[in-house]
């Protein structure tokens, strides 16, 4: 009997557990395309080393090696994958494409960017004395962003609803997870009940087979988006 050959990995995802690479892993799992992972060890600052900087000169995680070159920036990777595989996003020419793109880029360029400011206030606040005030203002802005996204999700567009996965849903679910966990000294400020449409999206995403596989691979536990716990990964470090 002839043994079936395993599909050759199409992509290499350079990742760290429970980092932005999780968003791309979720999308790859939803698409069902073959890929393998390569750990970027944050404990040794591998993202700052010359080998990784050749893949992503900004030194940020993730990077995705493809047959057509290496990609970085989470939003760009998601859009490229969606267009290449015809999944998780309205295709070019679809009337819903514009709405999808504006919210994908709002999530990437605004919500995710402000999330980084909340997690690393010392890099943005100027002085140690201004960190607390800076963080408070950042949380207020993030809450407003989530309010806008909740209003959008409440309209149940096909590209961002609890019934069908999308690249944007992968992105939002992961960000909601991290906002509930970090920074550790102020964790708990995020109450998902304030944004019921986003909570419904997170609840639907966390029970999908793709999310379960990602959770197992990165040691994320069970309720990874609605009641998240800190990662206990089989390899690498989340921070």
Residue 2, pLDDT score: 52
Residue 190 forms part of a structural domain:
yes
Q: In total, how many domains does the chain have?
A: 1
pLDDT of residue 54: 97
Q: What pLDDT score was predicted for residue 147?
A: 98
pLDDT of 19 over the 60 cut: yes
Range of the domain at 154: 97-208
* Number of Cβ atoms within 10 Å of the Cβ of 93: 6
Q: What is the pLDDT of residues 32-65, one digit of tens each?
A: 999 999 999 999 999 999 999 999 999 999 999 9
| Rounded CA separation 27/165 (Å) | 9
Domain membership flag for residue 180: yes
The verdict on residue 178 lying in a domain is: yes
CB-facing half-sphere around the CA of 15: CA atoms within 13 A: 23
pLDDT at 31: 97
Domain assignment of residue 103, yes or no: yes
For residue 145, the model assigns a pLDDT of 98
Token look-up 């109450």 returns: 191
Is residue 167 in some structural domain? yes
The average pLDDT across 144-150 equals 98
- Predicted confidence (pLDDT) at residue 5 exceeds the cutoff of 60: no
In a domain, 92, yes or no: no
208-239 pLDDT per residue, tens: 999 999 999 999 999 999 999 999 999 999 98
pLDDT of residue 156: 93
pTM, whole model, 2 decimals? 0.94
Parallel, antiparallel or unpaired: strands 35-39 and 11-15:
parallel
Query: What does the mean pLDDT of the chain come to?
Result: 94
**Residue 87 pLDDT grade (very low, low, confident, very high; cuts 50, 70, 90):** very high
Domain containing 121 — which CATH number?
1.20.1050.10
Q: Report pLDDT digits (tens) over 164-214.
A: 899 999 999 999 999 999 999 888 899 999 999 999 999 999 999 999 999
- Please check whether residue 68 lies inside any domain of the structure: no
Query: In this structure, is residue 147 part of a structural domain?
Result: yes
Nearest alpha-carbon partner for 75 in 102, 105, 98, 47 = 105
- What percent of the chain lies above the pLDDT cut of 70? 97
Q: What is the pLDDT of residue 7?
A: 65
Q: Which ranges of the chain would DSSP assign to H, the alpha helix?
A: 21-31, 50-55, 74-85, 97-106, 112-119, 131-154, 167-181, 196-206, 209-218
The pLDDT confidence band at residue 3, using thresholds 50, 70 and 90, is: low
């Amino acid at each position: 009997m002839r043994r079936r050959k395993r599909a050759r990995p199409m992509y290499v995802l350079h990742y760290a557990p429970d980092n932005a690479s999780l968003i791309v892993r979720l999308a790859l799992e939803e698409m069902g395309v073959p890929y393998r992972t390569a750990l970027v060890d944050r404990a040794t600052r591998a993202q700052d080393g010359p080998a990784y900087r050749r893949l992503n000169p900004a030194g940020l995680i993730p990077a995705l090696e493809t047959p057509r070159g290496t990609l970085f920036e989470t939003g760009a990777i998601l859009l490229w994958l969606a267009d290449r595989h015809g999944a998780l996003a309205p295709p070019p020419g679809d009337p819903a494409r514009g709405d999808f793109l504006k919210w994908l880029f709002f999530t990437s360029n605004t919500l995710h960017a402000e999330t980084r400011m909340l997690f690393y206030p010392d890099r943005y606040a100027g002085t140690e004395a201004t960190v607390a005030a800076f963080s408070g203002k950042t949380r207020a802005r993030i809450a407003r962003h989530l309010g806008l996204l909740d209003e959008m999700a409440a309209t149940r567009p096909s590209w961002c609803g609890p019934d069908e996965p999308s690249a944007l849903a992968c992105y939002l679910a992961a960000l909601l997870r991290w906002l509930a966990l970090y920074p550790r000294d102020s964790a708990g400020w995020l109450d998902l009940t304030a944004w019921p449409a986003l909570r419904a999206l997170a609840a639907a995403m966390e029970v999908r087979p793709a999310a379960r596989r990602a959770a197992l691979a990165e040691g994320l536990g069970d309720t990874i988006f609605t009641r998240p716990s800190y990662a206990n990964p089989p390899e690498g470090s989340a921070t």
